[in-house]
A and B are shown apart, each in its own frame.
Chain A
């Protein structure tokens, strides 16, 4: 039975949904770009505030959703990324010729999906959340549909994601047929009582479906194309909020369900983790497009994160938390710069590396943001990325998983090389070629302010991460 407590605990989700409906009705009534953006941002901010308020409550469980530390943690990350995407989208869509307001609607729906996904304790909500997260993304990616690449990205993501979802669904069906349960807890109990190969196949297929969304090798093939083709804000959302939500639910599955902890799946996860780190980094070497490069880099980073899944003990949750925070801040910063440089919308995004040649000489602050992000992605000390990488390596060393540690080190070394390449490009002498540039007043716009703030946050988290770590620990305690 739904009680008041439940409703209170679900406030953030409800607020996001209300905002989505309000935005939709607003569009139907009167189109107004800035108004829509402000309304979305306001709704998200209120939702964020409400999360902070209900943070005090203990875990609240409904039959379908659980609002515990992990869920709230993910909700915060998702809401923040969505907020960043809203501000970026506002700058980006300024000159977009078609209807602009629907983008926010899609963004809000996807955010709601992410929150549901991260809070799900039932396969039904898992599926529902995943779909609610993915469906709007099809639209967002193909939003600039007059641009061939954008349309292609949308359709590719649609078709492949549908296939992956089918596998996920089939896996769920197998698990259900095996146990007759759909809630994760019941599933776990039933599988412990009677573990067998069908459950494995089911869990394996679910892993495929979720792995696809996380673009884990070998399900990663769509990633670079889609990142490259999609409009900046959509790619940003895909790389941040979407991944956080899916990863959190995968973590939940691994922590709860014994089928995910058996030897076979464990081995599979470990192999996938190593392969993902190495392939992601290796393929990034040859990229000459920043968005594609970031795509591969995000593949590699989730390879590192999977180490936490493989090890899956108490410290793993904390590690995941810290890593997700640092990854998110950094990625948002990097994608933010790319988006701002492609702002206002004028056809294809400025993502080829040569667009960035000598950026320092015309946009020193944006360059600083991008440099900081690259350093952080490479895991250099005094940036947020270092803290994350430290946690992952510490986790691997503690569990004595030498292959994984070796993979992280190899991958990071390769990573260092191509992140440096980007950084060096920024400072090269400006060539006389045509260039794409951010508008002159980017710094005082919402998007610009947010990006600068993110860069500062990357540094702050790198120098003084203790509050963040304390917070994540709280989450990990509340979540387990």
Chain B
């Protein structure tokens, strides 16, 4: 369990500084340091066990469904990194105490730092692939917080965002890769995965998995072509750079390479991808490090270059190279952290980091200068320093590689060039800043920093020197443990020593040292050479990329989403055309097995009228009244078509609905402008016509195809059972009032409730009668022309008679309560329109609410009535009666039910529409109440 504590303690520790205050800085720093110190103690306590080859593991179940468990392991590799993270982390805490200015919020910084430390520890100790990824993402996030610590600087914000976007995207790729590996192996347990090398590498999914994992590792470790984010992350406070960008976070990528080495390495793909990427990065970073003028910029590019070295080493297909890579990780972390902290001190003391302004600082800060010289020598790979050892191992291994086959001599050659460059930039860094004549024009007069601020630098430098002098004594045990984890087997025998005799590697080292010196002296040629190129700032490129994305998005938005409804409709219809059109192309022909109906004159005439009216509706749509009239013709023709194709009942219903609709539309038109202004130009009209034609064509083809195919539907059942079961020949009516009477009852109830709802909701609506049309012409003073009034009045009794007739015959012939109700409603509405609300209200003071409610009541009672005869709800009976004068009549109880339907339809329709009309008059419901 105490294994988990190593990770959890810093997590708890991230809360500790928040309790401290910005004023009491020493206390805050001390309190923060407690948790990592204990964690370091625990790790050291495990050290003996781990060096003996044990792998302590601990696990707690977390999300079993995802295969994610809180599992930790501490093998040699983890131990190496844990010591690095916690050790350098503690030094950083000390250094930060003095680095942060008074205005900076110290608790926040420490909290972020500890959060980062937790996630980093999580990565290196994770014993579960997914857990590793979770912590991986957390490092991205917490590094975002740290880089953006000075959030007031736009530079810092942009750098932070870039870092997070690049590493975050890489992280997602990594997730996919890890999931894939999990799929192949069948488990996310680290040990199982590491043991399944054969299984993984023989799987066809190996290559995608490898690519995805490497994508994650390369983005994190700033390998070409993803190197660009690292230099811009330098906007962070220097302790962050020292910790994240030298010792830890960027090492997460190479850690992953080491961690997955047993499972993924050894293939051609790995060799080329990893090896070549490392080589290119090594050269790229080293070259640009030489050219930079910003102190931290030089260090950033040199970090890129050194990460390239490590990647190259893991890529080379040799066991000793892996050991060299691990060794270089440690060495690089030590000297680079020391150099970053030195750079921070210089910045802090002089107020600038520009190498062109800095000069001769050794007079002011001899101690710092000494540290910088030593650490710089380590970076350059000067003998007697740790950097020399790992670099020489690298050069020795590069001679052995099978990479590039016959051209494999390129690898050591280029590696030597890289070392040469690194010597040159190290020299430049140290000499230009600390020596090179007396200082001039410094923004501030520098002096030595506080002892405690220098202490971490000193400690790290001492480590560099000690490791350089006594490598076998200090590092062998740890490296062997780490290597046996990274190689999943015994580590190759290590002979760490300063002197291996004269061998090619030594010669290469010497060449690099001398060449580097020479290059440094002749550096102005390099600068001159570089000046011929346009400077390309990676951040600008990234920002340009983003800006380009934004611009494309903006253009897309401008052209697609300009807020125009027509445009949206256009795209919707085009999309439908594509979908339906492409579906149509899948078919062989439209004609189905059924024959076409014969054409006759009547049919053709009807079709022509309908088409003409439809066209006219569209063309005349700016003059709304005319267009409405044309629309009514379309409706009429539809009704006639129903009638013609033996659906008289449907035709009648359609007709009635048409009429009611028309009246409603007229009412709406009254409140709307009379004309629509012309807005479309000719091209747009053409476009719309084409689109409409295309769409019509598609719909027509689909209809044709459907109509020429036989259709089986449920109607046969009703046709057969209508007379025996319901006693009526009008099937539609029988369905309504008998077969599905219960549904109808529900429907009319809903209709009634809805009408009452609308009626009540209209209470507060205030509509004002327009007195003039859109052009400002006043409406006729005579609101109710005599002709219409007379006609409406004359029609009313007739309409009522017709509706009664239709109601009665409904059960057997086309008709029924619903249609009859609509006819009555239409006639009454016409009267309202023709004579006005006042007039009608005086002569027929009918309240429609009771009528609607009564309708529902009648229908329900009819249903309940069947209980009296011991039948289930809504059972109907029918019989024949002989009435004198009229003759034989067939009556069904359903007719009572139909009466209910009739009443409800009349009541509801009028309740809604008549009251809508009333809105403009003094009969407005709420008005009455308020006045009363």
Q: Which residues on A are within 8 Å of B, measured CB to CB?
A: 21, 24, 27-28, 99, 102, 152, 155-156, 159-160, 163-164, 167, 170, 173-174, 177-178, 180, 196-198, 200-201, 204-205, 207-208, 212, 218-219, 221-222, 224-225, 264, 268, 279, 282-286, 380-382, 386-387, 390-391, 393-394, 396-398, 400, 402, 405, 408-410, 412-414, 416-417, 420-421, 424, 427-429, 464-466, 469-470, 473
A170 to B173, CA, bound (A): 42
Inter-chain contacts of A416 with B (CB < 8 A): 164-165, 168-169
Inter-chain contacts of B583 with A (CB < 8 A): 197, 200-201, 204, 264
Within the complex, the shortest CB–CB distance from A96 to chain B, in Å, comes to: 13
Interface of A is mostly: helix
A221-B568 contact in complex given A196-B587, A420-B165, A427-B151, C-beta closer than 8 Å: yes
Tell yes or no: B569 within 8 A of A by CB.
yes
A420 to B571, CA, bound (A): 31
Within the complex, the shortest CB–CB distance from A475 to chain B, in Å, comes to: 13
A421 to B713, CA, bound (A): 58
Task: Determine if B711 and A177 form an interchain contact, defined as CB atoms under 8 angstroms apart.
Answer: yes
Inter-chain contacts of B63 with A (CB < 8 A): 387, 464-466, 469
Within the complex, the shortest CB–CB distance from B555 to chain A, in Å, comes to: 9
The residue that B169 contacts in the complex, of A167, A390, A397, A409, with Cβ under 8 A, is: A409
Tell yes or no: B138 within 8 A of A by CB.
yes
A420-B164 contact in complex given A221-B567, A414-B549, C-beta closer than 8 Å: yes
A268-B549 contact in complex given A197-B584, A198-B705, A424-B148, C-beta closer than 8 Å: no
The residue that B706 contacts in the complex, of A155, A177, A225, A279, with Cβ under 8 A, is: A177
Interface residues of B in 176-191 (CB under 8 A from A): 176, 179-180, 183
Inter-chain contacts of A197 with B (CB < 8 A): 583-584, 586-587
Inter-chain contacts of A152 with B (CB < 8 A): 563
Q: A99, A284, A398, A416 — which one has the most chain B CB atoms within 10 A of its CB?
A: A416
Inter-chain contacts of B757 with A (CB < 8 A): 24, 28
Task: Determine if A397 and B168 form an interchain contact, defined as CB atoms under 8 angstroms apart.
Answer: no
A180-B713 contact in complex given A160-B572, A424-B148, C-beta closer than 8 Å: yes
Q: Mark B541-555, 1 if CB is under 8 A from A, else 0.
A: 000001001111110
Q: Nearest chain-B residue to A197 (Cβ)?
A: B587
Task: Determine if A218 and B563 form an interchain contact, defined as CB atoms under 8 angstroms apart.
Answer: no
Sample of 8 more A-B contacts, CB < 8 Å, known A207-B579, A208-B576: A180-B713, A197-B586, A200-B583, A279-B556, A381-B138, A390-B66, A397-B180, A428-B151
Tell yes or no: B622 within 8 A of A by CB.
no
A164 to B576, CA, bound (A): 9
Tell yes or no: B922 within 8 A of A by CB.
no
Task: Determine if A413 and B584 form an interchain contact, defined as CB atoms under 8 angstroms apart.
Answer: no
Q: Nearest chain-A residue to B753 (Cβ)?
A: A21
15 A/B residue pairs, CB under 8 Å, sorted by A: A27-B761, A177-B706, A180-B711, A198-B702, A201-B579, A208-B575, A208-B576, A222-B568, A283-B556, A286-B550, A286-B557, A391-B66, A417-B161, A417-B165, A465-B65
Task: Determine if A469 and B760 form an interchain contact, defined as CB atoms under 8 angstroms apart.
Answer: no
A180 to B712, CA, bound (A): 6
The residue that A466 contacts in the complex, of B64, B582, B584, with Cβ under 8 A, is: B64
Inter-chain contacts of B164 with A (CB < 8 A): 416, 420
Q: Which residues on B are within 8 Å of A, measured CB to CB?
A: 62-66, 134, 137-138, 141, 144, 148, 151-152, 157, 161, 164-165, 168-169, 172-173, 175-176, 179-180, 183, 205, 208, 546, 549-554, 556-557, 560-561, 563, 565, 567-569, 571-576, 579-580, 582-584, 586-587, 699, 702, 705-706, 709, 711-714, 753, 756-757, 760-761, 764
The residue that B579 contacts in the complex, of A27, A205, A410, A421, with Cβ under 8 A, is: A205
A219-B65 contact in complex given A201-B584, A283-B557, A417-B165, C-beta closer than 8 Å: no
Within the complex, the shortest CB–CB distance from A373 to chain B, in Å, comes to: 15
Task: Determine if B65 and A470 form an interchain contact, defined as CB atoms under 8 angstroms apart.
Answer: yes
Task: Determine if A156 and B568 form an interchain contact, defined as CB atoms under 8 angstroms apart.
Answer: yes
Task: Determine if B713 and A409 form an interchain contact, defined as CB atoms under 8 angstroms apart.
Answer: no
Q: Nearest chain-B residue to A279 (Cβ)?
A: B556
Inter-chain contacts of B552 with A (CB < 8 A): 282
Task: Determine if A397 and B64 form an interchain contact, defined as CB atoms under 8 angstroms apart.
Answer: no
Inter-chain contacts of A201 with B (CB < 8 A): 579-580, 583-584, 702
Inter-chain contacts of B572 with A (CB < 8 A): 160, 163-164, 208, 212, 218-219, 221
Within the complex, the shortest CB–CB distance from B749 to chain A, in Å, comes to: 11
Within the complex, the shortest CB–CB distance from B67 to chain A, in Å, comes to: 9
A155 to B699, CA, bound (A): 26
A221-B587 contact in complex given A198-B706, A283-B553, A285-B550, C-beta closer than 8 Å: no
Q: Nearest chain-A residue to B561 (Cβ)?
A: A221
Q: Nearest chain-A residue to B570 (Cβ)?
A: A221
Q: Nearest chain-B residue to A229 (Cβ)?
A: B563
Task: Determine if A413 and B172 form an interchain contact, defined as CB atoms under 8 angstroms apart.
Answer: yes
A410 to B584, CA, bound (A): 33
Inter-chain contacts of B144 with A (CB < 8 A): 420
A160-B137 contact in complex given A198-B705, A283-B556, A424-B157, C-beta closer than 8 Å: no
Q: Nearest chain-B residue to A167 (Cβ)?
A: B576
Inter-chain contacts of A382 with B (CB < 8 A): 134, 138
Task: Determine if A398 and B549 form an interchain contact, defined as CB atoms under 8 angstroms apart.
Answer: no
The residue that A285 contacts in the complex, of B66, B553, B574, B706, with Cβ under 8 A, is: B553
Task: Determine if B563 and A225 form an interchain contact, defined as CB atoms under 8 angstroms apart.
Answer: yes
Task: Determine if A282 and B165 form an interchain contact, defined as CB atoms under 8 angstroms apart.
Answer: no
A414 to B152, CA, bound (A): 24
A382 to B118, CA, bound (A): 14
Inter-chain contacts of A212 with B (CB < 8 A): 572
The residue that B569 contacts in the complex, of A159, A207, A424, A427, with Cβ under 8 A, is: A159
Q: Nearest chain-B residue to A101 (Cβ)?
A: B761
Inter-chain contacts of A102 with B (CB < 8 A): 761
Inter-chain contacts of B574 with A (CB < 8 A): 218
Inter-chain contacts of B66 with A (CB < 8 A): 387, 390-391, 394, 469
A417 to B542, CA, bound (A): 12
Inter-chain contacts of B580 with A (CB < 8 A): 201, 204-205
A286 to B552, CA, bound (A): 9
Within the complex, the shortest CB–CB distance from B755 to chain A, in Å, comes to: 12
Inter-chain contacts of B709 with A (CB < 8 A): 177-178, 198
Q: Nearest chain-A residue to B181 (Cβ)?
A: A397
The residue that A159 contacts in the complex, of B175, B551, B565, with Cβ under 8 A, is: B565
A283 to B64, CA, bound (A): 37
The residue that A200 contacts in the complex, of B134, B152, B586, B699, with Cβ under 8 A, is: B586
Task: Determine if B165 and A156 form an interchain contact, defined as CB atoms under 8 angstroms apart.
Answer: no
Within the complex, the shortest CB–CB distance from B79 to chain A, in Å, comes to: 25
Task: Determine if B137 and A221 form an interchain contact, defined as CB atoms under 8 angstroms apart.
Answer: no
Task: Determine if B179 and A393 form an interchain contact, defined as CB atoms under 8 angstroms apart.
Answer: yes
Task: Determine if A170 and B161 form an interchain contact, defined as CB atoms under 8 angstroms apart.
Answer: no
A219 to B571, CA, bound (A): 7
Q: Nearest chain-A residue to B172 (Cβ)?
A: A409
Inter-chain contacts of B569 with A (CB < 8 A): 159-160, 163
A412 to B557, CA, bound (A): 20
Inter-chain contacts of B64 with A (CB < 8 A): 466
Q: Nearest chain-B residue to A402 (Cβ)?
A: B208
Q: Nearest chain-B residue to A420 (Cβ)?
A: B161
Q: Nearest chain-B residue to A322 (Cβ)?
A: B65
Leading 7 A-B pairs by shortest Cβ distance: A413-B169, A197-B587, A201-B583, A28-B760, A286-B553, A177-B706, A469-B65
Within the complex, the shortest CB–CB distance from B129 to chain A, in Å, comes to: 12
Inter-chain contacts of A417 with B (CB < 8 A): 161, 165, 546
Task: Determine if B152 and A160 form an interchain contact, defined as CB atoms under 8 angstroms apart.
Answer: no
A27 to B763, CA, bound (A): 11
Q: Nearest chain-A residue to B165 (Cβ)?
A: A417
Q: Nearest chain-B residue to A409 (Cβ)?
A: B172
A428 to B714, CA, bound (A): 67
Task: Determine if A282 and B553 form an interchain contact, defined as CB atoms under 8 angstroms apart.
Answer: yes
The residue that B179 contacts in the complex, of A198, A397, A412, A473, with Cβ under 8 A, is: A397
A28 to B65, CA, bound (A): 51
Within the complex, the shortest CB–CB distance from B418 to chain A, in Å, comes to: 31
Inter-chain contacts of B205 with A (CB < 8 A): 400
Task: Determine if A27 and B172 form an interchain contact, defined as CB atoms under 8 angstroms apart.
Answer: no
